[in-house]
A and B are shown apart, each in its own frame.
Chain A
Amino acid sequence: MSTKNWPLWEVFVRSKNGLEHRHCGSLHAADEEMALENARDVYTRRSEGVSIWVVESKHITASNPENNGEMFEPAQDKVYRHPTFYDLPDEVKHM
């Protein structure tokens, strides 16, 4: 009987050059080579990609939604980071 289970990998696919890799799901595989091959068969059966990244899930550090307040709220009151914060005379059409 199996003693060790295949680890989980996250799959990122670039759909065409010029676009970023995008997370599209995960899968189990024994090693990185198999993860890449499985990712091709599971996530790009209809030419959805020109490049694949696989990362073992345990290597991803993620923010915790419970801390979203202190993590993301500081950006909310910094409206001066957006162009719409600044007043311009109506005559200036493009800036």
Chain B
Amino acid sequence: MSEEQVKNLEEQFEARIARDEKIEPKDWMPEKYRKTHIRQMSQHAHSEIVGMLPEGNWITRAPSLRRKVALLAKVQDEAGHGLYLYSATETLGISREEMYEQLHTGKAKYSSIFNYPTITWADMGAIGWLVDGAAIINQVPLCNTSYGPYARAMIRVCKEESFHQRQGYEIMIKLANGTPEQKEMAQDALNRWWWPSLMMLGPTDAESIHTAQSMKWKLKRKSNDDLRQQFIDQTVPQAELIGLTIPDPDLKWNEERQSYDFGEIDWDEFWQVVKGHGPMNKERMKARVNAWENGAWVRDAAMAHAEKKQDRKEKKAV
């Protein structure tokens, strides 16, 4: 294809997106569109899969059967969300194995929030309430994104995710209304998860390298800073309602903006964790790689069994 032809196709493509048309897997698309989507969608899938680890840590120690079935269902949903997203990404021509390889070698990233440890039961509350809360804010606009398979996967994900946040907040309510020790545990979890949750919504707009292009492709509808402000404004009253304190001395209602002003985010910490120096980066990757390698014989056995069954069927037919 000549350069001119490609340019022509690109213009038609951008116009389709501007008209709110969806792009489907076999449609022509610019290489950059394909690559950007593979990167973002696979990162999203990896985040769901790695995101099971911090919570999986507490399934066997959930304090009641009610809490246990809920946590188990939430973690199972995350596996499902990872699978919807992996298969949506595969429609762009990358194989599942390549994606795993990229995750396991550290080439692909996942949400850095999962590189923090879950040291008390209250962390299950804080994760559901804050981490899933921030994730929902990030994900809802994606239900309208330009790539059809991604948008469809996100609609399913968003439908299922609202119970995640509620179950987390319910854990926090219960602890906040419990004994002084329980309340302290809830406050401690909020203290540890608040800032990482704010960071989860991404670098400030000034530092975000992908924003402009992603806005054009509707991979993004609002900027990181706007999403962050939305998260803060919706979460602060929820903390107040249950008597917990947001760990930010600079947090103040701004009458004029009808929004909360908040303190400086420690972006050095964010970049340290992204670069692999968070408290749990190594542990998370080790768990993933072990699961993959230790499961190899099961995958092989299943395949061998399937082939044997097929052979037997064919022999019978002869």
Contacts and interface: CB of A to CB of B under 8 A. Distances in A.
B77 A26 contact: no
Chain B interface extent, by class: 20 to 34
A39 to B, nearest CB: 10
Contact of B300 (A3, A25, A26, A62): A3
Contact of B299 (A2, A24, A43, A45): A2
A66 B88 CA distance: 21
A2 B310 CA distance: 19
B130 interface: no
A50 interface: no
Q: Is the interface of B mostly helix, strand, loop or mixed?
A: helix
A65 to B, nearest CB: 5
B24 interface: yes
A6 B303 CA distance: 7
Interface residues of A, number: 24
Contacts of A84: none
B303 A46 contact: no
A31 to B, nearest CB: 4
A58 B158 CA distance: 30
Interface of B: 24, 26-28, 73, 76-77, 80, 83-84, 87-88, 90, 95-97, 152-153, 156, 160, 296, 299-300, 302-303, 305-306, 309-310
Interface of A: 1-6, 8, 24-28, 30-31, 34, 41-43, 45-46, 62, 64-66
